[in-house]
Structure 1
Amino acid sequence: MPNSGQQTESSVVVQRHNIMMSIMLNRPRVLNSLNTEMIRLVQMALDEAEGDDHIGFVVLRGAGEKSFCAGGDLKMLARAAQSSQLEEAFQFFDEEYALDLRIYRFPKPVIVLADGITMGGGLGISAGADAIVATERTRMAMPESRIGIFPDVGATGWLFAKCPEGYPEFLALSGYESVGAECVRLGLATHLCPSDRLPDLLRGLEEYSESCPPERGSAARHILSHVSAFFSTEGFRDPEMDQWVRTCFHAQDSMAQITANLSACSSQREFCTAFLRQLGERSPTSLVLTLHLLRHNQGRSMAQVFAVDARAARFMVSHHDFMEGVRARILEKDDNPRWQPPRIADVDLSPELPRIFGTGL
């Protein structure tokens, strides 16, 4: 979506319009992927918005039409991993999670215009917003296990608050990419707006000048009612897929049980086969850790979930599979990672889980 004001070279562009503050991620050449500098600039903008009584709400958006935010800057993390500067990577995750948690706790409404690619860390900075507006161009996913990490940014907690039964496990393990209206159906977005109406929606938000109720939720509803004409009422239902996901993934405690469910499934055979193939492309350690995190984090506060994520990130970034995933999928791009261990059945995280969960500190 084009920027309504003057373009700058800053990686984050902040503008004011009446009582709205616009915070635009401005690295379109890399799909607005987040680095530490951008996270700090967004935090500074939120400091300003929180302290200014004239600012009533915040809009987060991305420069260009391809992406709101494709996640963390993987090349930056890859360089840190390759040069053994892991503290740089740890610092990035700590600051990213602090920003995500702040958006949950922010006293004023936050609206995200999630046009285009919104994945990984892009979903992380969206999850705590009052409204997440998707378009038909929106593509949402948590694909981290392909490079030997895990669905972090609080996803193993907030997926349960947003998604129908079975989908937290399905989305976190598969990296399934939902598109457009499906993002709303699955709970990853709250509203749908046709992309050709997005500039009008933004203009409507910029022109909003009424005083907001003091309570964040009430204020958000008041603001969104002002621009409701721009939202599509298109429905998207897929009861067959919902049933398949619920049957195969809901409340499962082991990867062995999930793979057994998929192998035995008589419906959606093509989908089952594709999913089993996707599992084979991912780090076994990442998958096993992800399922443990889903079971542990369900129902916990977001502060607790982010604390667990920080410890899990330290474990995975130091693990062979992250280095190998970065090599195979980002640096050399041979797409042939050699995971250690190579099979899900060989993964044993029992020595690590007490430390990751904070029960063995």
Structure 2
Amino acid sequence: MNDLIVKEQGHVGRITLNRPKALNALTHDMCKAIEKYLNLWLADEKIRVIVFDAVGGKAFCAGGDITEMYIRGKAGDLDYGHAFWRDEYRLNAKIFNYPKPIASFLNGFTMGGGVGIGCHGKYRIVGESSRIAMPECTIGLVPDVGGSYILANSSGHLGEFHGLTGTRMGPAEAILIGFADHFISEQHWEQIKDKLSSSGDIQVINNFITDPEPSTDLLDKKELIDQVFGQSTIGEIESALLALGTEWSKDVLKKIYRNSPLSLACALQLIKDQRHSRSIEEALDLEFRFTFRSARYSDFIEGIRAQVIDKDFKPEWKHSSLREVAGSEVEFMLGPLGNQSLKWKEVK
């Protein structure tokens, strides 16, 4: 398919995302094709390393292609979204558990669905242009594709901060929070891929690893972030930020207020719940509880309309304030799905 460039180069199985005009947004067919090749290469002894990269300098992958979900959802067809997420999450788990090393070269923006492809392998490489984010609350969703699992396992309450604000992480922040492993200057990336192809030895990357510019602003604010975002509810976080009354807290509130109140409340609880997840499968199952219900019961369709379709950036959320979201609504959106839960026999 034209949206992917797939090559076997020496000892490398290479998958290049090829939708640069769409910032390499991930489609359902791309998910299924990537899984097919991972299955194929698993049994191929010649292929020792998998490489994920992308065409174009702006983005590795800026998210899932949600336009089709909007069209289908508006027409009452919820099965399309359910099938997309089931296949995508199965792929996310497969990448997380894949026995051969996967090296992801995360140039430019990596967001949403891009995190599910690029941030679960064992060698997640960032460079000068890398910017990683989980901005799902802006479209009425929650951090998913295993992103909430990464957020939950970050230091202190940095996960809540990034999950609720969608703040972009530079290379140093991405490594600190757990979305990346190594900083390597992008001028060396093609040379590394060539060496991987000829040798099949993932350790060749060690010769190119350097330290990124430190994230002094995030480190300086960490104690404050932990204090504010360690609160139990989104309303308490709002109160803590309002009480501070600083330029920083006002900027954080501005980011929060642009998001769906229901998504924020659910994302906060989801990240807290993920600290008890024992596997990527458990984590994805928790996320699927929300996404399965999202088109019918959340702000997801309205969020896509405002941000992607009409681009008026004036969503009419179901709740006009953060404190309007009832605990029972969060419990419903994150409640067990029974026989609709994800099935994992496909990835074992």
- Compute the TM-score of the two structures, normalised by the length of structure 1: 0.88
Q: Partners of 2:180 and 2:309 in 1: how far apart?
A: 32
User: Is 1:279 aligned to residue 276 of structure 2?
Assistant: no
Partner of 1:263: 242
2:299 aligned counterpart, secondary structure: helix
Q: Greater shift after overlay, 232-241 or 61-70? A: 232-241
Structure 1: tracts of 5 or more residues without a match: 1-8, 211-222
2:149 to 157, 165, 178: 157
> How far 1:344 sits from its partner (Å)?
1.4
Native 8 Å contact 2:60 2:107 kept in 1: yes
> How far 1:355 sits from its partner (Å)?
6.8
What is the root-mean-square deviation of aligned Cα atoms in Å? 1.9
> How far 1:165 sits from its partner (Å)?
1.1
1:227 aligned counterpart, secondary structure: helix
2:14 aligned counterpart, secondary structure: strand
1:329 to 307, 313, 319: 307
Spell out the pairing of 1:84-123 with structure 2 (5 A cutoff): 84-123=76-115
Q: Partners of 1:120 and 1:332 in 2: how far apart?
A: 20
User: Is 1:288 aligned to residue 265 of structure 2?
Assistant: yes
> How far 1:360 sits from its partner (Å)?
7.6
Partner of 1:342: 320
Q: Greater shift after overlay, 201-210 or 48-57? A: 201-210
Native 8 Å contact 1:256 1:345 kept in 2: yes
Native 8 Å contact 1:135 1:181 kept in 2: no
Cα displacement string for residues 128-151 of structure 1 (whole angstroms, at most 9, x for unaligned residues): 210111111111100111111111
Q: Partners of 1:198 and 1:87 in 2: how far apart?
A: 40
Cα displacement string for residues 30-65 of structure 1 (whole angstroms, at most 9, x for unaligned residues): 111111100011011101111112211211111121
> How far 1:235 sits from its partner (Å)?
4.5
Native 8 Å contact 1:23 1:60 kept in 2: yes
Partner of 1:3: none
> How far 1:177 sits from its partner (Å)?
0.6
1:58 aligned counterpart, secondary structure: strand
Spell out the pairing of 1:82-231 with structure 2 (5 A cutoff): 82-161=74-153, 163-209=154-200, 223-224=202-203, 226-231=204-209
> How far 1:74 sits from its partner (Å)?
2.0
> How far 1:79 sits from its partner (Å)?
1.7
Structure 2: tracts of 5 or more residues without a match: 340-348
Q: Partners of 1:334 and 1:36 in 2: how far apart?
A: 27
1:345 aligned counterpart, secondary structure: helix
Q: How many residues align?
A: 336
Runs (4+) of structure 1 exceeding 4 A deviation are none
> How far 1:206 sits from its partner (Å)?
1.8
1:46 aligned counterpart, secondary structure: helix
> How far 1:227 sits from its partner (Å)?
2.4
Native 8 Å contact 1:158 1:302 kept in 2: no
Q: Partners of 1:188 and 1:352 in 2: how far apart?
A: 26
Q: Partners of 2:329 and 2:65 in 1: how far apart?
A: 30
> How far 1:349 sits from its partner (Å)?
4.5
What residue identity is the alignment partner of 1:91? Answer: A
Partner of 1:319: 297
1:151 aligned counterpart, secondary structure: coil
- What fraction of aligned residue pairs are identical, expressed as a percent? 27
> How far 1:270 sits from its partner (Å)?
1.6
Partner of 1:310: 288
Native 8 Å contact 1:149 1:317 kept in 2: no
What residue identity is the alignment partner of 2:175? Answer: V
Q: Partners of 1:149 and 1:87 in 2: how far apart?
A: 17
User: Is 1:50 aligned to residue 42 of structure 2?
Assistant: yes
Q: Greater shift after overlay, 185-194 or 351-360? A: 351-360
- Compute the TM-score of the two structures, normalised by the length of structure 2: 0.91
Cα displacement string for residues 107-135 of structure 1 (whole angstroms, at most 9, x for unaligned residues): 11111111111001111122321011111
Native 8 Å contact 1:34 1:73 kept in 2: yes
Q: Partners of 2:208 and 2:200 in 1: how far apart?
A: 18
Partner of 1:298: 275
1:334 aligned counterpart, secondary structure: coil
Native 8 Å contact 2:12 2:50 kept in 1: yes
Native 8 Å contact 2:150 2:179 kept in 1: no
What residue identity is the alignment partner of 2:292? Answer: R
> How far 1:159 sits from its partner (Å)?
1.8
1:30 to 8, 19, 22: 22
Partner of 1:240: 220
Native 8 Å contact 1:183 1:189 kept in 2: yes
* 1:227–1:339 Cα change, 3 Å: same
Q: Greater shift after overlay, 140-149 or 83-92? A: 83-92
